[in-house]
Amino acid sequence: MENYRQNADFKRRILVVEDEEVNREILGEILGESYLVSYAENGLQAWDMLHDHSVHYSLVLLDLLMPKMGGIELLEKLRLKEHKMAPVIVMTADETAELTSIKLGAADFLTKPYDMPEVILARCERLIELYEDQSLISAAERDLLSGLYSKEFFYEYIRQIESYQPDRKKDAITLDIEHFHMLNEMFGREAGDEVLRTTGKILTEIFGSRGIGCRPVADVFFLYVDHAEQYDGVFAGLQEELARVTGIPRIRFRIGICQDVDKSLPCEVWFDHAKHACDVIRGDYTRQISFYNEETNAKDLYRERLIKDMDEALSHKDFVVYYQPKYDVSGSRPRLRSAEALIRWKHPELGMISPGDFIPLFESNGLIMKLDNYVWQEAAAQVKEWKDEFGLTLPVSVNVSRIDIYDPALEDKLLDLLRKNGLNPEEIMLEITESAYSSNAQGLIETVNHLRETGFRIEMDDFGSGYSSLNMLTTIPIDVLKMDMKFIRNMMKDRKSQKLVELVIDIARFLEVPVVAEGVETEEQLQLLQEMGCDIIQGYFFSKPVPPEEFRHFIEKELGEKES
Ligand code: C2E
Ligand code: CA
Ligand code: CA
């Protein structure tokens, strides 16, 4: 693949550190045609310039006697070897200074007054080339199998290319051979090697002078190539060619591409990003190429973080259960009737996280079961505590995710809770969202029937958000209907939405179950619902979900009003 040295587009940069203007001019004349030349008037200025990492110097020409900071002092400070700095040529009339400079890491000398211009130029060229070769060789080794570079060499090479072509747009690509270990097992190591060798060869053919490649680990390839807007068809021939050469049909690849890499980040990160894009389509047989996107990456990282932190959060009790009251408004004054348990995550570093951010995530990977069990335990203990303290039963509804329904031990777990806390099944009510009914109707109905036989009461949550037909409703066993919040939100807006609310209330009446309106925020909403005959109200109008210490005030108030 490409050798950037042959590219005439770019010039290396040399830093001339010299206090006398006439000398700067002479050197500028000599070097200016082949190189970009920067100047510093003393060691201090040079120190600052060398530490500006946005500029790469291939060589430093250093005078020794200068005001502010001389050449020897600068060499001492730079400690060239340790910091992998550019090579330094010391310029001096004093031959005794040579030894000191060598010890301090200078690579060559120019004696003053200056030699012939061609000599100076030739020595600069030679030294630059020597250093570049050396740093590549020290990182060297090609991967013998694929013919591509080794990882260390690859990254070093990229850094060099970058120092000469910082403005050129580039793409980072990772290519993963799927189930490579299986290929090895099924066809033998030899065949596996042949796949890697051929892949390396084809990739070199595809990208030719447009990039470089390496094989960082067994079945992964990295490519660093000139930017392309799209990659349609670029990898198309790879699979057939592999099949033709190796005789193994349908070898699959996953390709992740980070386009127009962010040059302010280290090159290793570009490939992390490409790899991340590649991992996204793992197991998705409809997609071969995936592009990195900053936004999704940030989201994915956040989600990964939440998954990683969950166990610890459980043991640290960073998950807190809040309670939101439900009031019965059928009589002359609202009566506290029950509460809904709603989880909150007080993350020590990320702050308060709302369930909307982690419940769907934990539902997607099954962790929700653990979390819900925790919430149920907390809720049951709370019900018992209030029962003991106030001598009253305040049923609490807990949310049961559709994933929990698949848990064969669900009923046992719930019964166990009751036993431990000395509760009856009516004291823990179960909210199941309507969409769960449509996705797994038969299984769900069986489970729910069981639970009801045991004595639990089931509330259908978010009713009206899903697609359950009236027909289905009549066969589904439920005890309470919870109207979806969006009905309440729209109710005041137009007549039609209000009609829908009436319809839901009618359905509940037909099923002979009470209906709960949640998300009630205003007095007007409350009144209208009362007029329509909706008896149970949950919403900010009465209270937001609150921690148990705050919730007890609602109980105390209720008890106080009862007495008076
Ligand atoms: P949900 O079960 O429908 O819970 C009602 C949501 O509406 C709660 O949001 C509640 O805080 C909010 N809400 C209540 N009254 C009002 C109001 O007047 N106005 C507005 N704008 N919102 C109101 P939250 O606590 O953020 O929970 C969101 C969803 O997360 C819940 O919806 C439920 O699906 C899920 N969730 C919460 N806790 C748990 C849990 O312990 N287990 C499971 N599986 N899901 C949970
Ligand atoms: Ca709920
Ligand atoms: Ca709801």
Q: Compute the distance between CA of residue 225 and CA of residue 136 in angstroms, rounded to an integer.
A: 19
Q: Compute the distance between CA of residue 471 and CA of residue 483 in angstroms, rounded to an integer.
A: 18
Pocket test residue of 399, 463, 486 for ligand 1, highest count of atoms within 8 A of CB: 399
Closest of 297, 328, 308, 175 to residue 242, by C-alpha = 175
* 364 Cα–ligand 3 center, Å: 19
Q: Compute the distance between CA of residue 207 and CA of residue 358 in angstroms, rounded to an integer.
A: 43
> Would you list the DSSP string of 390-440?
HS----EEEEE-TTGGG-TTHHHHHHHHHHHHT--GGGEEEEEEHHHHHHS
* 545 Cα–ligand 2 center, Å: 12
- pTM, entire model: 0.64
| Each residue's pLDDT tens digit, 67-89 | 889 998 988 888 765 556 788 99
Burial class (CB in 10 A: 0-12, 13-18, 19+), 144: exposed
Of residues 470 and 335, more confidence is placed in 335
For ligand 1, atom 15: residue with the closest CA: 539
* 311 Cα–ligand 1 center, Å: 22
* Closest ligand by atom to 429 CA: 2
Query: Residue 152: CA atoms inside 13 Å, Cβ hemisphere, count?
Result: 8
Q: Which atom of ligand 1 is nearest to the CA of 521?
A: 18
CB contact at 8 A, 108 and 79: no
For ligand 1, atom 30: residue with the closest CA: 355
Report pLDDT for 7.
Answer: 47
Closest of 397, 406, 410, 416 to residue 481, by C-alpha = 397
Q: Compute the distance between CA of residue 17 and CA of residue 60 in angstroms, rounded to an integer.
A: 7
Q: Compute the distance between CA of residue 13 and CA of residue 32 in angstroms, rounded to an integer.
A: 10
* 342 Cα–ligand 1 center, Å: 6
* Closest ligand by atom to 342 CA: 1
CB contact at 8 A, 106 and 60: no
Q: Compute the distance between CA of residue 507 and CA of residue 89 in angstroms, rounded to an integer.
A: 90
Whether 273 shows a pLDDT value over 80: the answer reads: yes
Query: Residue 421: CA atoms inside 13 Å, Cβ hemisphere, count?
Result: 24
Q: Compute the distance between CA of residue 167 and CA of residue 165 in angstroms, rounded to an integer.
A: 6
Closest of 390, 483, 478 to residue 430, by C-alpha = 478
Q: Which atom of ligand 1 is nearest to the CA of 545?
A: 11
Of residues 164 and 307, more confidence is placed in 307
Q: Compute the distance between CA of residue 88 and CA of residue 65 in angstroms, rounded to an integer.
A: 15
Partners of 92 in the beta sheet? Answer: 111
The predicted model gives 428-444 an average pLDDT of 84
Phi-psi region of 240 (alpha: psi -120 to 50; beta: other; left: phi over 0): alpha
Report pLDDT for 529.
Answer: 96
CA dist list (Å): 208 to 3, 309, 515: 11, 45, 69
> Would you list the DSSP string of 317-351?
T-EEEEEEEEEE-SSSS-EEEEEEEEEEEEETTTE
Q: Which atom of ligand 1 is nearest to the CA of 538?
A: 15
* 505 Cα–ligand 2 center, Å: 18
* 373 Cα–ligand 1 center, Å: 17
* 406 Cα–ligand 1 center, Å: 22
- Residue list, ligand 1 pocket, CB within 6 Å: 324, 342-343, 354-356, 359, 368, 372, 375, 399, 401, 431, 461-462, 518-521, 538-540, 545
Q: Compute the distance between CA of residue 59 and CA of residue 231 in angstroms, rounded to an integer.
A: 39
* 343 Cα–ligand 1 center, Å: 8
- Angle in degrees, CA 402, 407, 411, rounded to 5: 100
Q: Compute the distance between CA of residue 313 and CA of residue 358 in angstroms, rounded to an integer.
A: 13
Task: Return the DSSP state at 178.
Answer: T
* Closest ligand by atom to 483 CA: 3
The predicted model gives 167-177 an average pLDDT of 95
Closest of 60, 92, 91, 94 to residue 77, by C-alpha = 60
Whether 5 shows a pLDDT value over 60: the answer reads: no
Burial class (CB in 10 A: 0-12, 13-18, 19+), 295: exposed
The reply to whether omega before 355 is within 30° of 0 (cis) is no
Pocket test residue of 326, 346, 359 for ligand 1, highest count of atoms within 8 A of CB: 359
Closest of 230, 238, 241, 270 to residue 254, by C-alpha = 238
Q: Which atom of ligand 1 is nearest to the CA of 401?
A: 44
Q: Compute the distance between CA of residue 115 and CA of residue 178 in angstroms, rounded to an integer.
A: 61
* 518 Cα–ligand 2 center, Å: 9
The predicted model gives 194-203 an average pLDDT of 93
| Each residue's pLDDT tens digit, 201-213 | 999 889 888 899 9
Most confident of 148-162, 365-379, 479-493: 365-379
* Closest ligand by atom to 355 CA: 1
Q: Which two tokens stand for residue 401?
A: 């995710």
* Closest ligand by atom to 516 CA: 3
Most confident of 38-52, 362-376, 492-506: 362-376
> Would you list the DSSP string of 26-52?
HHHHHHTTTSEEEEESSHHHHHHHHT-
Task: Return the DSSP state at 103.
Answer: H
Report pLDDT for 494.
Answer: 84
The model's confidence at residue 467, banded by pLDDT at 50, 70 and 90, is low
Whether 15 shows a pLDDT value over 70: the answer reads: yes
* 517 Cα–ligand 3 center, Å: 9
For ligand 1, atom 42: residue with the closest CA: 399
Residue length of the chain: 564
Q: Compute the distance between CA of residue 16 and CA of residue 95 in angstroms, rounded to an integer.
A: 20
Q: Which atom of ligand 1 is nearest to the CA of 322?
A: 25
Give the three-state DSSP class for 227.
Answer: coil
